[in-house]
């Protein structure tokens, strides 16, 4: 089992990351990847998202979430990559990739990782818009999403 | 000569970290404090009593999350062995 957690300012290439995850292995039958992209508001007023994080806690929190996923599903490899800093609409913000022998494990584990990243990884988003800046509020739906895994 | 009262718990200073709008309201990202607070709630009361910036940052505790030594805890979480305490709003990752 290979687990990788990466935090970076720079953009990334999902297919390069996915290739690196499975390169040289023949025990993987399924890879699921999810890529999150900064979406503009309907009126086009979003200038950028600013991602703040708590570096000392982030790795620990993500590693704990990943090891929980590993305990629940038969994963052979996984990647959590999250950017921080200033990110513009249309740019990639994060990705997860899960690799397993069969697709069900990879699909479910990827959803699980996403649900936990939303409300258990120490990141905070601030929106810079044409009419000012404000912190994004946590959505009840994101917290509720964790309920299905308990 | 340095004397320590026998009933004073021996503990080093605690490093406090603030994130997102809690950081903005307090005005600094981190600081180090000496406290005798035994749990998170007592520490928050102590901080909120300092001045308006702290009082405002901690005015709605339903919107405050806390990590002690980088692990999430409840507001009644113990500060025993605490070296680093972080205060922040609900997380919005992903």
Question: How far is the CA of A91 from the CAs of A35, A39, A83, A88, B10, in angstroms?
Answer: 10, 8, 10, 6, 50
Environment class of A150 (CB within 10 Å of its CB; exposed 0-12, middle 13-18, buried 19+)? exposed
Q: Name the closest residue on chain A to residue B69, using Cα atoms.
A: A57
pLDDT value at residue A137: 93
* Structural domains of chain B in order of their starting residue, each with its CATH number: 11-88 (3.10.20.30)
Nearest-5° angle of CA B10, CA B82, CA A64?
155
pLDDT band at A11 (very low <50, low <70, confident <90, very high): very high
B73 inside 8 A of chain A by CB: no
Per cent of chain A over pLDDT 70 is: 99
Per-residue pLDDT averaged across A40-68, rounded? 92
- For the cut 80, the answer to whether the pLDDT of residue B14 exceeds it is yes
Can you state the angle between helices A55-72 and A103-120, rounded to 10 degrees?
150
For residue B5, pLDDT beyond 80: no
Per DSSP, the three-state class of A136 is coil
Structure tokens at B42: 């007592």
Task: Say what the pLDDT of residue A149 is.
Answer: 87
Banded model confidence at residue A67, pLDDT cuts 50, 70, 90:
confident
From chain B, pick out residues whose CB is under 8 angstroms from the CB of A135: 20-21, 89, 92
Q: Measured between CA atoms, how close is A26 to chain B, in angstroms?
A: 30
State the Cα–Cα distance between residues B14 and B17, nearest whole angstrom. Answer: 10
**pLDDT (tens digit per residue) in B34-59:** 999 999 999 999 999 999 999 999 99
The reply to whether the predicted model has a pTM over 0.80 is yes
Q: What's residue B9's pLDDT?
A: 56
User: Does A19 score more than 60 pLDDT?
Assistant: yes
Beta-bridge partner residues of A48? A128
Residue B8 has pLDDT above 60, yes or no: no
Residues from A contacting B (CB-CB < 8 Å) are 36, 52-54, 56-57, 60-61, 82, 94, 114, 117-126, 135-138, 142-143
Q: Give the tens place of pLDDT for each residue, A94-134.
A: 999 999 999 999 999 999 999 989 888 999 999 999 999 99
B21 contacts on A by Cβ (under 8 Å): 135
| Chain A interface includes B72 (CB < 8 A) | yes
Query: In the predicted model, is pLDDT for residue B2 greater than 80?
Result: no
Instruction: Determine, for residues B93 and A52 on separate chains, whether the beta-carbon distance falls below 8 Å.
Output: no
pLDDT: which is higher, A109 or A61:
A109
Under DSSP, is residue A93 helix (H, G, I), strand (E, B) or coil? strand
Average pLDDT rounded to a whole number, residues A30-39: 97
Q: Can you state the percent helix, strand and coil of chain A, rounding each to 5? A: 35, 35, 25
Q: Is there a contact between B93 and A60 if contact means CB atoms under 8 Å apart?
A: no
């Amino acid at each position: 089992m290979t687990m990788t957690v990466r935090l970076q300012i720079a953009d990334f290439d999902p297919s390069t990351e996915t290739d690196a995850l499975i390169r040289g292995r023949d025990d993987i039958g399924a890879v699921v990847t999810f890529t999150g992209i900064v979406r503009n508001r309907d009126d086009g007023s979003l200038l950028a998202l600013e991602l703040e994080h708590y570096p000392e806690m982030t790795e620990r929190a993500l590693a704990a979430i990943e090891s929980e996923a590993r305990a629940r599903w038969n994963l052979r490899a996984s990647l959590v990559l999250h950017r921080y800093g200033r990110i513009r609409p249309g740019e990639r913000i994060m990705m997860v990739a899960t690799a397993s022998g069969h697709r069900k494990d990879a699909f479910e584990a990827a959803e699980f990782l996403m649900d936990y990243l939303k409300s258990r990884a120490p990141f905070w988003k601030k929106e810079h818009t044409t009419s000012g800046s404000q912190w994004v509020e946590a959505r009840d739906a994101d917290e509720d999403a964790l309920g299905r895994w308990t | 000569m340095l004397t320590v009262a026998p009933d004073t718990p021996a503990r080093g200073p605690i490093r406090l970290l603030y994130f997102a709008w809690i950081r903005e309201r307090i005005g600094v990202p981190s600081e180090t404090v000496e406290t005798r607070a035994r749990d998170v709630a007592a520490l928050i009361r102590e901080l909120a009593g300092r001045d308006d910036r702290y009082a405002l940052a901690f005015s709605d505790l339903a919107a405050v999350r806390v990590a002690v030594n980088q692990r999430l805890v409840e507001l009644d979480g113990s500060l025993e062995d605490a070296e680093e305490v972080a205060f922040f709003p609900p997380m919005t990752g992903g």
